[in-house]
Structures are given as C-alpha cells and as structure tokens.
Amino acid sequence: MSALANSPAVVIGAVIIALAVIAFGRRIDVKVGNVSAQLEPNGGRSLRDSVDRIEKKADRAVTRAEDAAKNAHFAAQSAAKALERIERIEQAASPTATAILVAPPAPDQVE
C-alpha cells in the first residue's frame, strides 16, 4: 500500500483534485460574495435597492387608495344628506306654495 501512496500518478492525481477543490471553493466564494453584495443597498443598483423602491411605490399606492376610499365615503355621505334635505323641502312645500312658485303673476298684480 505504501508503494501505491508513493506512486507519482497518485500524487499528481491528489494534487489535481486538491487544485480543483480550491478552484471550486473560490468560485463558490465569489458567487456567495456577489449574492451578499446584492442584499446590501449600494445607491440604486442592488437587489435590496430595487426591493426598497418597489416597497415605497406599493406604500404610496396603498395610501392613495385609502385616501380615495375616504373621499368617496365622504362624498356619498354628503350626497345622502343633500338628498334628505331636498326630500324634506319637497315634503314641507304645500301644493299651494308650489303653485305660487310656478304660476305666473295675476294680471292685476302686473305693474
């Protein structure tokens, strides 16, 4: 067994395997470094910056939608109150009062 361990082919094979493992390890290290760099904000080009921009846009959209819903609710309330007032005015107006408002003046009242 010691003759096989001292064989130049085995030593060369072991060196090639060791170099391949080192090279593969460096490639993994570079890739991990690239991924890690994308997770840190760097002024606009990283994945983290893109996620932050999307999040801000989504927050603004939600705020606008909430404001629009509130405005629509208040507009609906105002319209309902206006309709109630109109109905009260119509109910309070007697047929005589309506006729006076609509009828032309009598000939003896014309100057």
Residue 62 counted as domain residue? yes
Phi-psi region of 103 (alpha: psi -120 to 50; beta: other; left: phi over 0): beta
Residue 64 counted as domain residue? yes
In this prediction, residues 15-28 reach a mean pLDDT of 91
Residue 6 counted as domain residue? no
Q: What confidence tens digit (pLDDT) does each residue in 45-93 have?
A: 888 899 999 999 999 999 999 999 999 999 999 999 999 988 888 777 6
Report the Cα 91 to chain-centroid distance in Å.
49
Residue 54 counted as domain residue? yes
Residue 80, domain extent: 29-94
Residue 88 counted as domain residue? yes
- Model confidence at 5, pLDDT cuts 50, 70, 90, reads low
* Domain count of the fold of the chain: 1
Residue 60 counted as domain residue? yes
Its sign, for the CA torsion 12, 16, 22, 26, is: positive
